Amino acid sequence: MSIITRVALRKSYGVCNPMNPACSQVYNSALKSTGSAQQQMDEFWAKNKETNRPMSPHLTIYKPQLTSMLSITHRATGMMLAGATCAFAAATVIPGAAECALQTANYLHGSMLGSLVLFDIKMCLAWPLTFHVCNGVRHLIWDSASGLSLSSVYTTGWAVLLSSLVLAALFTLVMQ
Partner 1 sequence: MNFAALRVVRCMKVQSMVAGHRVPQVVTSCIRQPIQTINTSSAHNEISSQESFELRHQVSSMKKNNTNWVMYRAGSVGLLAAVAGCFICPGNVIVDFTTVTLIVHHNYFGIKSVLADYMPLFFKDGLTNIVMIAWLIISIVTLGLLYAFNYNNIGFSKAVNNFFKL
Residues making contact with partner 1 (CB under 8 A)? 2, 4-5, 8-9, 11-12, 15-17, 34-39, 41, 75, 78-79, 81-82, 85-86, 88-90, 92-93, 101-102, 105, 118, 122, 125-126, 133, 136-137, 140, 143, 171-172, 175-176
Angle between helices 112-143 and 66-91 (to 10 degrees): 120
Give 21's DSSP letter: G
- Closest to partner 1 by CB, 151 vs 174, is 174
Least separation in angstroms between residue 7's CB and partner 1 is 8
Least separation in angstroms between residue 1's CB and partner 1 is 8
Least separation in angstroms between residue 58's CB and partner 1 is 12
Q: What angle do CA 86, 91, 94 make, to 5 degrees?
A: 140
* Residues 6+ positions from 108 with CB-CB distance below 8 Å: 114, 115, 117, 118
Task: Assess contact for 170 and 176: CB atoms under 8 A.
Answer: no
Q: Which amino acid is at 91?
A: A
- Closest to partner 1 by CB, 156 vs 172, is 172
- Total residues found in the chain within this entry: 176
Give 108's DSSP letter: H
- Closest to partner 1 by CB, 2 vs 51, is 2
- Closest to partner 1 by CB, 38 vs 149, is 38
Least separation in angstroms between residue 151's CB and partner 1 is 25
